């Protein structure tokens, strides 16, 4: 994701697994690319699975990381730089302010059900519809499973903003943008903010 301004108001036990080597998780040295906006077809279709865990994939991830940081985001999916591949990167705090970062290819999200399912209606934003934030109800805890850049299985879990981010980015890989999840009135509010901020985010931003 993109940008989000508020975290879950209900602290939950943090179960985010600490990676043994968080420093080297995100590939660096990439190029900042223009961010693709909602409305471009690549944003609204299920992305192609990653099958080759090669240097090209690592270069793509490095560009995604560079672009995410340039745009001040906490997560970014490949479609957001116009690439049809099911992969996202993130660097995001959980409900306790603990930062977790990673790369997830072919993500599958697991959400709490039944009595464990609690919704957090914190604000949400998207770098592909910049300058706008509205509340979006989502489960306050999420787990994502997929593959890392070397093809091995990775799992990330978290609360607060991290839970929201993991769901938001997995949605991108499935062709869903968070505007699709909003009631009509909220969507209108979002669009109004976005239109008002258009000058701050010219075509090509943040490259």
Q: Which residues are the active-site residues? A: 169
Our CB check for Zn ion shows the closer of 78 and 126 to be 126
69 neighbors 88 (Cβ within 8 angstroms): no
CB 3, min distance to Zn ion, A: 9
- Can you say whether the dihedral through the CA atoms of 185, 187, 191, 194 is positive or negative? positive
CB 1, min distance to Zn ion, A: 5
Our CB check for Zn ion shows the closer of 4 and 157 to be 4
**Nearest by Cα to 51 from 25, 26, 85, 102:** 85
CB 139, min distance to Zn ion, A: 17
Cα 184 off chain centre by: 22
Residues binding Zn ion (CB under 5 A): 2, 126
Farthest CA pair distance, the chain: 45
Three-state DSSP at 111 gives coil
**For Zn ion, which residue has the nearest CB?**
126
The end-to-end CA distance of the chain, in Å, is 17
Our CB check for Zn ion shows the closer of 89 and 126 to be 126
Those residues with Cβ within 8 angstroms of residue 70's Cβ, 6 or more apart along the chain or in another chain: 32, 206, 207
Our CB check for Zn ion shows the closer of 94 and 124 to be 124
CB 124, min distance to Zn ion, A: 9
**Strands, E, within the chain: which ranges?**
75-77, 87-93, 99-110, 119-120, 123-124, 134-135, 138-139, 141-147, 153-159
63 neighbors 78 (Cβ within 8 angstroms): no
CB 179, min distance to Zn ion, A: 9
Our CB check for Zn ion shows the closer of 57 and 126 to be 126
């Amino acid at each position: 994701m993109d940008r989000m301004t508020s975290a879950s108001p209900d602290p939950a036990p943090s179960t985010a697994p600490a990676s043994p080597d968080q420093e080297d998780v995100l590939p660096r040295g990439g190029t900042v690319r223009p961010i693709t906006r909602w409305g471009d077809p690549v944003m609204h279709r299920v992305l192609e699975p990653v099958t080759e865990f090669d240097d090209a994939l690592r270069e793509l991830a490095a560009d995604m990381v560079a672009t995410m940081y340039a745009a001040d985001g906490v997560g970014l999916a490949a479609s957001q730089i116009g690439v049809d591949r099911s992969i996202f990167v993130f660097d995001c705090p959980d409900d306790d302010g603990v930062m977790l970062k990673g790369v997830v290819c072919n993500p599958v999200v697991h959400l709490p059900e039944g009595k464990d399912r609690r919704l957090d209606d914190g604000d949400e934003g998207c770098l592909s519809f910049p300058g706008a934030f509205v509340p979006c109800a989502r489960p306050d805890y999420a787990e994502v499973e997929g593959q890392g850049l070397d093809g091995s299985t990775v799992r990330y879990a978290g609360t607060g903003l991290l839970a929201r981010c993991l769901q938001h980015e997995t949605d991108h890989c499935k062709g869903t943008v968070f505007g699709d999840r909003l009631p009509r009135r909220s969507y209108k509010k979002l669009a109004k903010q976005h239109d008002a901020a258009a000058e701050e985010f010219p075509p090509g931003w943040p490259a």
